[in-house]
Amino acid sequence: MESTARQLMCKFECVKYLILIVCIPIWVQAQPSSDSAALDIRKQRWVAAGMAAGITTGVVILSNYWYQQYPSESFHFFNDNAEWLQMDKAGHVFTAYTAAIWSRALWISTGMQPRQAALAGAFSSLVFVSAIEVLDGFSSEWGFSSGDMLANVLGAGLLLGQEWGWKQQRITIKFSYQPVNYTPAGLQGRANALFGNRTIEKMLKDYNGQTYWACFNLASFFPKSGLPKWLNLSLGYGAGGILGGTENQQKDATGNIVFNRMDIARVRKGFLSIDVDLSTIPTRKKWLKNVLLVVNSIKIPAPALEWSGGKLQAHWLKF
């Protein structure tokens, strides 16, 4: 019990320092030179405090309702780069990029300049995802993954690099999900054990139904082409046949095989499709801008070409 308490205190100490990193750079800014600047800085400090409170709340909830289900140990690293056909890494890129995009918009609403807001957004995103990685580092089931952190940095860096290089987001990272029917193959039990049996769990955990997209805004790359500003060319990455981390087999503690479907091929999938960039829709209504900002993280269903298992096939509608 005493060992568990020490691990818990260490865990929250690590997260506490990560949270302070968000607040301090904003809180100690130079004194404002005007009333409007003073108002902006007050807003920024409130946002920093709100983010710190939000991250703290999230950590407490995760610790009490998720990580508490699994045994813990001292902080350690874990190399999971070969697992899940790297679908989890694509998920980390998407999460970090999306958190940075949303955070950037929040900082801009406080009067912060776009480049500085992008820096603050990327930084805030990394603190958030790093807090989760710290929790993983204390879990016996997982560990702190350097591969996950690299993917997190790539996601947040993609927002920052584009804002500082192009002053706009020409490439957006999006997500789509299509439920997989495991019943005909007799795999529903295995799928429920791995990915959960509720829709929200499956969306977050079922790599066989997920697709991650890099969406290129064509008009921003070719401004003289006359192409619609909303048109994106989307390259997607997905996978199929994944019924285990590195192979479709599981052994118990004594080495006995309790699940074996090595006959099912684990395949990577590449997609080519189109998408709509909702951020190009002009509106003066702040609430609508916020809605479009959130919805723009999801790729709309559209026709697509798929390359997988050495074959090319077409989808009239790919989710």
Tell me the per-residue pLDDT of 138-190, one tens digit each, with 9 for 90 and over.
888 889 999 999 999 999 999 999 999 999 999 999 999 999 999 999 999 99
Cα 68 from Cα 294, distance rounded (Å)? 30
Tell me the per-residue pLDDT of 182-241, one tens digit each, with 9 for 90 and over.
999 999 999 999 999 899 989 999 999 999 999 999 999 999 999 999 999 999 999 999
b/e string for 109-122 if b means 16 or more Cβ within 10 A?
A: ebebeeeebbbbbb
The pLDDT value given to residue 140: 85
| Phi and psi torsions of 315, nearest 5° | -120, 125
Helix (H) or strand (E) holding 230: none
In the block, which residue shows the tokens 């949303």?
A: 102
SS3 content of the chain, % helix, strand, coil (to 5): 50, 20, 30
Q: Is the pLDDT of residue 27 over 50?
A: no
Q: Are 231 and 217 in contact (CB under 8 A)?
A: yes
Q: Is the pLDDT of residue 132 over 70?
A: yes
Tell me the per-residue pLDDT of 30-42, one tens digit each, with 9 for 90 and over.
444 455 656 578 8
Other CB atoms within 10 A of residue 283 CB: 10
The pLDDT value given to residue 171: 98
Q: Is the pLDDT of residue 311 over 50?
A: yes
64 vs 48: which has the higher pLDDT? 48
Q: What dihedral angle (degrees, nearest 10) is formed by the CA atoms of 143, 145, 146, 150?
A: -150
In this prediction, residues 274-290 reach a mean pLDDT of 92
Cα 147 from Cα 159, distance rounded (Å)? 19
Cα 97 from Cα 163, distance rounded (Å)? 12
The pLDDT value given to residue 64: 73
Model confidence, pTM: 0.89
The pLDDT value given to residue 37: 59
Using only C-alpha atoms, the chain has a radius of gyration, in whole angstroms, of 22
